[in-house]
Amino acid sequence: MWKRRSSLLILAILLAACSYTFTVDLGSTSLNLGSLPPTNPFGEPYVVYPTTPLTLTPPPLDVVRALEVKGMARANLPLNARILVYARAQEPGPECHATSQFVLCPASKAGERVGTLDFGGRAETPFTLVGDTLLQGLRHGRLWLGVAVEGNVPPGLGEIRLEEMKALITVGL
């Protein structure tokens, strides 16, 4: 019994030692919320995406054990609102409404919810995003990150910036 437990412990340690975490810089994205339409075009909550995705050189992601994106969210004013973050690995489709400044998608077809920004009365907050769509976007070299305000858009909210974004990717056996 002791030999079996010690063998399993050694195997677990060896497998943990066979992993490596590296960082991919994702840069920043900015969403102009000041010119949102005065009425909801969908009759349900919607997500605001930028017109162009984040682009990057896909890293070698054969055996991914974990993936998370960390960064800093900044608003043009202190917020008490919660902001939901969504991700898409593919271009927003015909169910979405595109303008020259942003793309609006109904929340039911917006992509995967990957995190929440809780400003807590401040104009900036750190964030962590997780989800399968983030990995798909990294693999394809294109990733759209969008936001939805829980409730009504606060008066004066003009911009949300997701900055200093880094993907922490753990690969291994």
User: What is the average pLDDT across 106-120?
Assistant: 92
3 class by beta-carbon count within 10 Å (0-12 exposed, 13-18 middle, 19+ buried): exposed
* Other residues' Cβ atoms within 10 Å of the Cβ of residue 61: 13
Eight-class DSSP state of 81? S
Residue 87: its pLDDT value, please? 95
Q: Which residue has the tokens 């917020």?
A: 79
* β-pair partners for 79: 122
pLDDT bucket at 112, cuts 50 / 70 / 90: very high
Please check whether residue 89 is in contact with residue 142, taking contact to mean a CB–CB distance below 8 angstroms.
Answer: yes
CB 49 within 8 A of CB 103: yes
Residue 12 has pLDDT above 60, yes or no: no
Residue 12 lies in a domain: no
**Cβ–Cβ under 8 Å, residues 111 and 88:** yes
**Residue 122 β-bridge partners:** 79
- Per cent of the chain over pLDDT 90 is 35
86 pLDDT tier (thresholds 50, 70, 90) = very high
Overall residue count recorded for the chain in this entry? 173
Instruction: Please say if the pLDDT value at position 149 is more than 80.
Output: yes
The confidence score (pLDDT) of residue 135 equals 86
129 assigned to some structural domain: yes
pLDDT band of residue 11 (cuts 50, 70, 90) is very low
How far is Cα 51 from Cα 92, in angstroms, rounded to an integer?
A: 9
CATH number at residue 25: 2.60.120
In a domain, 134, yes or no: yes
Residue numbers of the domain that contains 51: 20-172
Look at the chain and report how many structural domains it folds into.
1
Angle at 25 between CA 83 and CA 163, to 5 degrees: 35
- As a whole number of angstroms, the distance between CA 20 and CA 61 comes to 11
Whether 13 is in a domain gets the answer no
Domain membership of residue 70 (yes or no) is yes
Query: Is 8 within a domain?
Result: no
The pLDDT score that the predictor gives to residue 129 is: 96
Task: Tell me if 107 is assigned to some domain.
Answer: yes
Q: Is residue 60 part of a domain?
A: yes
Q: pLDDT tens digit string along 24-63?
A: 888 899 988 888 877 777 888 889 999 889 887 776 666 7
